[in-house]
Each structure stands twice: as C-alpha cells, then as structure tokens.
Chain A
Amino acid sequence: MENNSHLDELEAEAIYIIREVAAECEKPVMLYSIGKDSSVMLHLAIKAFYPEKPPFPFLHVNTTWKFREMIEFRDKVAAKYGIEMLEYINQDGVKQGINPFNHGAAYTDIMKTQALKQALNKYGFTAAFGGGRRDEEKSRAKERIFSFRNSAHAWDPKNQRPEMWKLYNTKINKGESIRVFPISNWTEKDIWQYIKRENIDIVPLYFAAERPVVNRDGNLIMVDDERLPLREGEKPEIKSVRFRTLGCYPLTGGVESTAKTLDEIIEETLSAVSSERTSRVIDNEAAGSMERRKREGYF
C-alpha cells in the first residue's frame, strides 16, 4: 500500500496539471508518440476527465519510419477510447526523400522538429502536452513542467518562467506556445509500476519476442520492412529482443532479453546497467546535444 501512495501522488500531480491546461489554455493538444510514456499520459487524461472524454485532440507526428506495430497500436487505441487522433507528416520532407540513413541529424530535424512545428502552426495549438520526464536527460532535468516557447518554438533555458507551488501561469502572447510535461517527476520505474497497476495497454514491441535484427555499431536494429538497406556483411538474425524506448525503427536499438511479462520487464529495469536513452542513437552525438535540439524547437 505504501508503494501505491507514491504512485497515487504522482498520478494526482499529473491529473491536476492536465485539468489546469484544459481549463485555462485556449487550444490544447496532447502529443502522442505511441510509446509507454505516451500510453501512461493518455491513460491519465482519460482518468482526469472521466466520465467526460478528454476535451482536446491527440497528435501523432509521424516520420514514416515508425515500427509497423506502433501504427497498428495507435489506431487501435484511438478507436478504443473514441478520441480524436490527428496524424501529421512533413510532406516536403517525404518529397525530398529525407531518410534516416543518408541524412543523419538533418533527418531528425526535418521529420521530427520541423514536422512538429508545422503541425502546431497548422492547427494553431497554444499548448501541447508531452511525455518528457526529467530523469531521462540532463537538460530535461532542468526544464519546468510548463515550458514556454517563443514564436519560433525555441526554448530559452537561461530565462525560464518561475513555477511556484501548483500555481501555473499559463498566460502567453500571440504566437507563443507552451509545452506541458505532466509526468516530469516520474521515473522509468514509476512508469512501469503504474502500467502494471493500471493494466495499461502498451505496444507489444516492449515485450521480448523473436525478431529479425542486425547488429549495427553495437545497436540491435530490427529489420521491420524492406526499406532498411543492409550494409556489407550484415545479415538479419533472429534474436529474442525487446525495446526499452520506441521511435523510428532504424534509429532504435533493441536489447537482447527474454522478458515477456511486465514483472520480468520491471525486474530487468530495476537491475539495468544502462539508462534508457542510450538505446536512442540520436542522443549520443555530442555533449549537450539534447539542449541544442530543444533550443531549436525539439520537444
């Protein structure tokens, strides 16, 4: 029971934040990335407004390189809850043939950062919920729950608006917007324990299964479709792997694992020797890379 009370506190804090945004912000949206953190955030939104449906739409920014199972799962979840699920793809990027193999950092910028900015501008959203957590990365550890963006969607880490008690100041000027992180204070362990307690559906990729992978620079990359160009000497092998985070399949390394149940995943997570973002290739580029991307408008 004592353990529950810790999760109850985190749940209450998140619900309070979600309700404040719905009550005060003109046009909110909840970003939905299909991952486990998004699944928890969606669940919290459903609980926050019950018996009403969440009074805002959900938005998935699709790079066109997501795992196929993620897209199936997204559509299933939207139908189950009867929520409005918007999808946005940067069509200019698609036309230019931007892909994760030839364009490196530019790919992330064009298909994720630029796409997100375009989507927010297109619909005129003034506040966007994101599933970021402070324990993920050092610059996130410094970010407020209500994080302000200027009209170019840029973050100014040296001049963050003070955030006192639960008195969130949601006022913005025209063109500005807010990113809101209701699960800022959750750790990866909290997320897994809450998923278990609340019986939340998550994408099956989180559970170990036999999957075709190649070992690329130390990352186990899944061959999810025929678009993955194999390098010389690379041959897909069938391995029992699971994914600790989900993103674009060519950029998301799996870990060898036999954890097929939530309990086994929690067990593995608690004794993990590497923090979860190392399996994301983009974070490893250079010291301070996340902060730089956030200043440019990345979530």
Chain B
Amino acid sequence: MKGLLKFITCGSVDDGKSTLIGHILYDAKLLYADQEKALELDSKVGSRSGKIDYSLLLDGLMAEREQGITIDVAYRYFTTDNRSFIVADTPGHEEYTRNMAVGASFADLAVILVDASQGVLVQTRRHARICKLMGIRHFVFAVNKMDLVGYSEDVFNQIKVQIAELAQTHSLSNIQVIPLSATEGDNVTIKSKNIPWYQGPALLEYLENVDTSSSAQEKGFYMPVQRVSRPDRTFRGFQGQIESGTVHVGDVIKSLPSYEKASVKSILYTNKNVDEAHAGEPVTISLDREVDVSRGCVLARDASIGSYKKINASLLWMDDEPLSLGKDYLVKIGTKIIPGALTKIDYAIDVNSGAHLDAESISKNEIAVCELVFAEAIVVDLFEKHKTLGELILIDRVTHATAACGVVEALYEKQVQSQEKAAFVQGDHYGRGEIFEEFFYDTATFSVVKQQPVKQHYTIGDEIPTSGESYHYPDDFDIIILRDSIAVKVRGKRIAEITTTKDFRYGNVPVINGRGFEIKVHSDEDVKRLLREYTDAVDSGCEEFFRKWTVFDTYRKVVIH
C-alpha cells in the first residue's frame, strides 16, 4: 500500500470540482449511509432540486450553499484498498485566490480541471501559477465535461496542446492529462467505454499509483529547533522535526547561525531512544557539549546552509491592507520569527497572464518579487534547495494578520562567521567575545533573545566597549573564556594580555567568564579548581557548575526591547 497522498482540486467557477470529488466519494461507496441521507436532504433544499448534487458534500458553509460557490478550502478523507487520501477542495474565484493557496501549500499533487467545451482559460493559468509557486511538483489536468463535446478526441487533443504550452511557460513537471466527465462518471473511478481512444488510467487509478516522494530529496540533514527541553538539570534536548536526511548518535553537527560544532549524544524519536532518525520524524536531540542553541536555530550536517541578511522572495499578498514598502513586518521562516522590512518591489506579476509589471505596492491576491531585509542575518535558503527554510509568512505587527506568504528566490549578504563575530585575538590565541552580547526581552515573541552588536576583533592595546545596553563591566577586570581555554586581562578599558587559561594568574581584579557572568574566584587555587571542575562539568552537565561558580547579574541585566 502506498503512503498518504495529499492533493488539491482546482478549476474555475463552473468546472465542477466539488462534483468530481463528490462523485469519487459516492462511487467508491466511501460515504457513510447517514451522510448519504443528509446529501439527499440537502439536495432538496439546494438549487438543483431532485437530482443528487454531489457538490453539496463539500460546500459545507451556509454562505457557500446560499451562493452556490466554494469560498474556503474543504478537507475530505478517504481510503481505497490501495491508498489513503486527503483532498483539499479549493475555491476557483479570483477573490478567494489566497484560500486556494492555503490548499496548494498543503498538497503534493494538484488536479486542475479544464472545461472541455472551453479549453485552457485565464483561471487555469492562474491556478497553475499558484500551485507551482506553493511548491507542487505533480499535476493532473482533468479535462472535464467530455460528454458536452461528444467525447471528441479532436477536442481533447487541441486542449492537450494548450496544456503542453502552459506546462512549458510555468516549467511544470510530472503531468498527466485525463479526459473525463464528473457528472456522468466517465474515467473518474472506472475507465469509460465512451472514451475508447484514451489509453491511460482513470483518475482514481492514477492517484492510487502516483509516487510523489522521490521529487523531494534535499541535501544533507537539517532540523529547525522548535523548543529547548529542560526537564531537569541533567538533560537539555533540542526538539524539532527532521526536514531532510538522517542523523546518528555520534555525528558531528553544526548549530546555525553560530556555526558551533558538537557531537550528537542521544536521540529520542518521540519517547524512544534511537541510534538514528530520519526525515519527517519528530525528535529530541542532545549534544555532548554546551552550544548556543535556542528556538529558531537550525541543527545541520552536510547541508550547505548559511545565514543571510537580505533575500528576494516571490510574495502572494493575503491581507486586506496592501503591501507597504519600508514598513516593519514580522517574518516567520522555519521556527524563527524576526522583524524585517520590504525595501523594494522588483516587479509585480500579473496573476493571470504572467506579465511583469512595475509596481509601488500590491493588494490582496496579487503576486510580486520583492527584496526583504531582516533585522539581523537569519538561517534561510532557496525554496528549491531546502523547502522548509525557503518558505515564509509576513505578519502585520499591529493587526497580527498573516499579510503575505512567499518563497525565497535569491540570497544576499551572507554572514561570514569567523570575521564578523566579536573575538579576542593574539597570534594563535582566539577567544570568543560573547561578553558583548546584549540580553533583550523581546516583547514581540515574549522570549529572551541575545544579540551581538559588536562584530570586531580585539588585540593587545585595543580599547573595548565596557558598557552596552545590558552590561556594564569595571575598567579593570579579567576574562576567563572556558570554552576556548583563553584568558584576557583588561586594564583601564584596554587589553593588556591574552594568554591560555593554563598560564593565567589571578590578578586581584574581578573575573568574568566568556559570557560576561561574574566568576567567584579570589585566588590562584580557586582558578585551578574552577578549570578542573569545568572539565568534569562538560561531561556531566553544566548547570551545577554554573550555579556554583557564576553570577549573572553582577555586570549584566535583561533589557526590555
């Protein structure tokens, strides 16, 4: 048995989408008896009294039944002997394009209806464009109402040519064209005797057998972190869903955007310990050392993913409020939410014809290619390369409406880690400069976030900024950067010495760690004990160690932002 197939149906107003799906459910006897009774009852009060109206199965909202059209996506579930299906029936009207896009973003395959008596229409092009934009890679063109054109092979072939042209303009792949009649049941669930010249499968047979899994291969392993789990002092796990690849216990992985490396200590697949985990699985990963990881970070291996400050994206506008250049929106990519501004519209795209247009703004249901600049560099990739890191939504900061959705088309201003991060450098000695990190309580996300505003290297003789928004160090102090085994002496706000921690001697001035927390040491003996206990703590968990030796708020605080 094949896995679950999620597909959508789309077509213009009277192409009969709902009728088609209603017919599949009815024919395949997938309706429960009382739903069938309700259908007959509904048909009597509906517009087409008497004959069964299959579309009433799907148009569930009262407003839809009153108007006889589909407004929002309806999800239906059915199982045949060969496969389980979820079908999203989407509205065809242009004014509900955004609802159609909701269905398309959910699906692996699109069934696009074409009315045989009318051929490929403007709406057909619009639907194909939205499906492609949302990442659908498999298409069925159902040429419907063949009964109205006398089951003519000539008519069908003409439409096939139009579809081939359409497929070429939109670079659609994996296309199947099927002649059928939804009301009469030709080639819906069983092959029609009325269309003997068609050699291919009926629609349901095709859907039961199509393989959509192979087209989704992505490079390497990556997992956006949803949350950090800390049930007690000994356990710190990163929870998320693996988006591609496989991860094993012992693998060296990178945490982005910090680029810090660590080995995988354990993997939980839901509540079971496993040695390896695969794409699609929800896991909790623990690492063998202390690494900066929080929600919005990405764990990766061999995936060639970076962080960028600026991108180009194709956006579908969804809000009643039109796009406003320069305005700050919240951007959600993967599990990261960050402020960002639309700085430029390269061009708008006519949703029907595909023509590129000059534009200052776009409104609901319109598409444009725009430049988007984030408040800081974030982990992001091209939609084509790593889908989950190339999808985004924009959220209006005042109304909280989902203003737009989009896909990443180009990346700019890559953040190069080693040069841009603050650090203390002298010859071979390199110590990370996280003492300059700012701790903010971000009121947009209700969480504490860290920012590194100073992106500079300091060496002996340089003056350093001893005060920031959330830290204030004395003029004379020493830094012990435990992770890098580096110690730095600061005298009169200037760097006096950079050594290894082994060569460090206590100097009767306050001591802080690599993150700006006070370290409670008052002698060379204290320092020795500190270094010894740190080595042990790395193996057994650091919380006890930090509690014993460090104080956060001597020189630091969290500032509301």
Contact = CB atoms under 8 A, between A and B. Distances in A.
Given A48-B270, A172-B400, A187-B77, A287 B45 contact: yes
Given A9-B3, A185-B75, A272-B32, A291 B231 contact: no
A131 to B, nearest CB: 16
A224 interface: no
Interface string A1-37: 0110110111110011001101110100000000000
Interface of B: 1-4, 32-35, 38, 41-42, 45, 58, 60-63, 71-77, 79, 84, 86, 98-99, 101-102, 105-106, 134, 226-227, 229-231, 235, 237, 239-241, 268, 270-271, 280-282, 284, 295, 318, 330, 332-333, 335, 337, 388, 391-393, 395, 399-402, 405, 445-446
Nearest to B399: A173
Contacts of B268: 50-51
A164 B405 contact: yes
Contacts of A8: 280-281
Contact of A185 (B63, B77, B284): B77
B271 A20 contact: no
Contacts of A48: 239, 270, 282
A2 B1 contact: yes
Contacts of A10: 4
6 contacts: A15-B241, A50-B271, A134-B77, A185-B86, A275-B32, A278-B34
A33 to B, nearest CB: 21
B393 A161 contact: no
Interface string A43-83: 00011111111000000000000000000000000000000
Given A19-B227, A142-B73, A157-B63, A287 B405 contact: no
Contacts of A91: none
Contacts of B227: 19, 22-23
A188 to B, nearest CB: 9
Given A12-B280, A23-B335, A185-B86, A3 B1 contact: yes
Interface of A: 2-3, 5-6, 8-12, 15-16, 19-20, 22-24, 26, 46-53, 134-135, 137-139, 141-142, 157-158, 160-167, 169, 171-173, 184-185, 187, 189, 272-275, 278, 287-288, 291
B271 A19 contact: no
Given A16-B226, A173-B399, 13 more contacts: A3-B1, A9-B4, A12-B241, A22-B227, A23-B335, A48-B239, A142-B75, A164-B393, A167-B391, A171-B330, A185-B86, A187-B77, A274-B33
Contacts of B231: 51-53
Given A142-B72, A185-B86, A164 B271 contact: no
The 6 closest A-B pairs by CB, nearest first: A138-B60, A171-B400, A52-B231, A50-B271, A275-B32, A47-B270
A272 to B, nearest CB: 7
A6 B77 CA distance: 13
A23 to B, nearest CB: 4
Contact of B282 (A16, A23, A160): A16
Which one of B38, B61, B281 has the greatest number of beta carbons of chain A within 10 Å? B61
Given A15-B270, A164-B102, A189-B79, A273 B33 contact: yes
Contacts of A15: 241, 270, 282
Contacts of A139: 60-61
A135 B446 CA distance: 35
B271 to A, nearest CB: 4
Contacts of B295: 23
Contacts of A6: 3-4, 84
A141 to B, nearest CB: 5
A160 B103 CA distance: 13
Contact of A291 (B62, B73, B106): B62
B446 A162 contact: no
A161 B60 CA distance: 18
Nearest to B284: A50
B17 to A, nearest CB: 15
B226 A162 contact: no
A288 B59 CA distance: 11
A44 to B, nearest CB: 9
A46 B281 CA distance: 16
A11 B72 contact: no
B478 to A, nearest CB: 38
A169 B393 contact: yes
A166 B337 CA distance: 13
A9 B280 contact: yes
Nearest to A278: B34
Contacts of B270: 11, 15, 47-48, 50
Interface core residue of A16, A141, A158 (most chain B CB under 10 Å): A141
B446 A142 contact: no
Contacts of A169: 332, 393, 395, 400, 402
B84 A287 contact: no
Contact of B318 (A12, A24, A162): A162
B74 A275 contact: no
Nearest to A189: B79
A1 B490 CA distance: 63
Contacts of A171: 330, 395, 400
Contacts of B393: 164, 167, 169
Contact of A142 (B74, B332, B392, B445): B74
A22 B271 CA distance: 17
Nearest to B282: A15
A43 B60 CA distance: 31
Given A11-B270, A165-B105, A23 B446 contact: no
B54 to A, nearest CB: 14
B109 to A, nearest CB: 15
A157 B335 contact: no
A167 B392 CA distance: 7
Contact of B226 (A20, A26, A50): A20
Best-buried of A24, A165, A278 by chain B (most CB within 10 Å) = A165
Contacts of A19: 226-227, 239-240, 282
Nearest to A16: B241
Nearest to B4: A6
B127 to A, nearest CB: 17
A47 B271 CA distance: 5
Contacts of A138: 60, 74
Contacts of B237: 51
B400 A165 contact: no
A12 B226 CA distance: 13
